[in-house]
C-alpha cells in the first residue's frame, strides 16, 4: 500500500505541470528556454476529473486499509514518507494559485518596503511581471503577522529576483513543517502507527499542504508545538507564546485555545463541541474549500479519534476533494460541479461526522 500511494503521488506530481499558469510559463520560457519540459502546454491535460477521481479514490481506500492494518514507522517507512513529501514539494500547485499570493506579499514587504495590509498588489501591475500570475491582486493581505514573516523569510535568504528558487523554497518550508508536525503528533500519541494513515499518507494533507502549498500548516504546526510544550515539556510560558503565534498566523486556532487550560472530561467535551461547531460552519458555508478541513488537526493532540471516526473523516475529505475540483479539472474554470447538485450531502455529511 505504501508503494501504491508513492506511485499515485508520482503520477499526480508529474501531471501537475501540465496545469502551469500561461503567464508564469511565458515568463520562465523567456528567461530559461531550456528549463521547461516540452510536455507543458495549455491544450492537453492528462490529469482530468475522471483520472483524478480514480487516483484519489484508490488513495483514500489505501489510507483506510492502513488505518485497520497499521504499520510501524521503520527506516523503510520513513524513507517512503520522505520520498512522497519530496515528490509533492516538487509538484506544481495545479489546484490553487494561493502560493503566488504568498510569494508576492512577501516581495511587497521585503523588496518594495510596502505594507501588504495597506496596499493592494495591483498597485504593482505596471512594475512587476510576477503580478501576471498572482491572483487576489485586488484584496489586501488577509493573514496574521506571523504568516507574513514566513512569507518574507525566503526573500531574506534568496533575495528578490530568483523566482524559481523562491518558489521551491516556499514549498520546501511547507514540507519541513508537514514532517515536523507529523513527528510531534507521533510523539504526542505515544508513537502510534496510526499517524502514518491520518497524517503522513493523508491525500487531503498532501494535496492541499504540500502540492497546493496552503499556509494552514504553519498555524497547525505552531498549535501542535504549543500543546507539546504545555503537556510534555511542562513549560506553559513557551507553550502560551506558541499558541499566540498560531492565532497570529490564522485566527482559526483561537477556537481550540481554551482546551490548553482544560483537563479530563471537561477538555474532551469542549473539543467535541468545538469540532461540531467547526463541521457545521464548514458544511453550511456557500463555498468550503478542502483545505479548510485541515483545521480538524488542531484537535488531534488532545485525544485520539476512533478508527470509525477516522474512516468517516477520510471519506468526508474524499467527497470534498472531488466536489471542489471535479469541474475545474474538466474545464480549467472554477464553478459549480455536478457534485454540488447533491445539496443534501452538505447537511448529511457534517451531521454524520459530528455524530460519529
Least confident among 204-208, 213-217, 311-315, 344-348 = 344-348
| pLDDT for the residue numbered 161 | 86
pLDDT of residue 41: 52
Helices 163-188 and 22-31 pack at an angle, to 10 degrees, of 120
Q: What is the largest CA-CA distance in the chain?
A: 62
Average pLDDT over residues 67-80: 89
Look over the chain and give the mean of its residue pLDDT values, rounded to a whole number: 85
Question: What pLDDT, on the 0 to 100 scale, is given for residue 158?
Answer: 93
Higher pLDDT, 30 or 98: 98
> Tell me: the pLDDT tens digits for 82-113?
999 999 999 999 888 899 999 999 999 999 99
Give residue 190's pLDDT: 80
How many Å apart are CA 169 and CA 115, to the nearest integer? 22
Q: Is 123 helix (H, G, I), strand (E, B) or coil?
A: helix
Host H or E run for residue 131: none
Residue 247 has what pLDDT?
95
pLDDT of 233-277, one tens digit each? 788 899 999 999 999 999 899 999 999 988 888 988 898 888 888
Confidence of residue 286 (pLDDT cuts 50, 70, 90): low
The 10s digit of each residue's pLDDT in 185-202 is 998 888 888 999 999 999
Percent of the chain with pLDDT over 70: 86
CB-CB neighbours of 113 under 10 Å? 7
Backbone angles phi, psi at 90, to 5 degrees: -75, -15
Checking if the pLDDT of 348 tops 90, the result is no
Do 304 and 192 touch, CB atoms closer than 8 A?
A: yes
Reported pTM: 0.91
> What is the arithmetic mean of pLDDT over 275-281?
81
Amino acid at each position: 500500500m505504501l508503494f501504491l500511494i508513492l506511485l499515485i503521488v508520482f503520477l499526480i506530481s508529474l501531471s501537475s505541470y501540465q496545469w502551469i499558469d500561461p503567464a508564469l510559463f511565458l515568463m520562465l520560457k523567456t528567461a530559461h528556454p531550456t528549463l521547461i519540459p516540452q510536455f507543458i502546454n495549455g491544450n492537453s491535460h492528462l490529469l482530468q476529473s475522471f483520472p483524478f477521481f480514480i487516483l484519489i479514490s484508490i488513495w483514500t481506500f489505501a489510507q483506510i486499509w492502513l488505518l485497520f492494518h497499521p504499520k510501524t514507522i521503520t527506516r523503510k517507512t520513513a524513507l517512503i514518507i520522505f520520498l512522497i513529501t519530496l515528490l509533492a514539494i516538487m509538484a506544481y500547485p495545479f489546484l490553487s494559485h494561493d502560493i503566488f499570493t504568498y510569494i508576492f506579499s512577501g516581495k511587497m514587504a521585503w523588496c518594495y518596503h510596502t505594507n501588504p495590509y495597506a496596499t493592494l498588489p495591483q498597485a504593482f501591475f505596471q512594475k512587476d511581471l510576477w503580478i501576471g500570475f498572482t491572483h487576489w491582486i485586488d484584496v489586501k493581505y488577509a493573514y496574521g503577522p506571523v504568516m507574513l514573516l514566513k512569507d518574507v523569510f525566503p526573500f531574506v535568504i534568496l533575495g528578490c529576483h530568483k523566482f524559481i528558487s523562491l518558489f521551491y523554497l516556499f514549498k520546501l518550508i511547507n514540507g519541513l513543517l508537514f514532517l515536523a508536525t507529523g513527528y510531534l503528533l507521533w510523539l504526542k500519541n505515544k508513537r502510534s502507527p496510526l499517524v502514518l494513515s491520518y497524517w503522513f499518507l493523508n491525500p487531503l494533507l498532501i494535496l492541499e499542504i504540500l502540492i497546493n502549498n496552503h499556509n494552514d500548516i504553519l498555524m497547525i504546526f505552531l498549535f501542535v508545538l504549543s500543546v507539546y510544550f504545555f503537556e510534555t515539556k511542562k513549560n506553559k510560558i513557551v507553550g502560551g507564546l506558541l499558541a499566540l503565534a498560531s492565532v497570529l498566523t490564522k485566527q482559526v486556532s483561537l477556537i481550540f485555545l481554551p482546551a490548553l487550560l482544560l483537563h479530563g472530561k471537561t477538555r474532551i467535551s469542549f473539543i467535541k463541541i468545538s469540532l461540531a461547531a467547526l463541521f457545521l460552519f464548514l458544511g453550511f458555508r456557500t463555498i468550503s474549500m478542502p483545505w479548510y478541513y485541515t483545521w480538524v488537526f488542531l484537535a488531534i493532540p488532545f485525544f485520539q479519534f476512533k478508527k470509525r471516526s477516522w474512516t468517516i473523516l477520510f471519506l468526508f475529505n474524499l467527497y470534498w476533494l472531488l466536489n471542489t475540483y471535479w469541474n475545474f479539472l474538466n474545464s480549467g474554470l472554477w464553478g459549480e460541479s455536478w457534485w454540488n447538485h447533491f445539496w443534501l450531502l452538505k447537511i448529511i455529511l457534517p451531521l454524520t461526522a459530528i455524530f460519529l
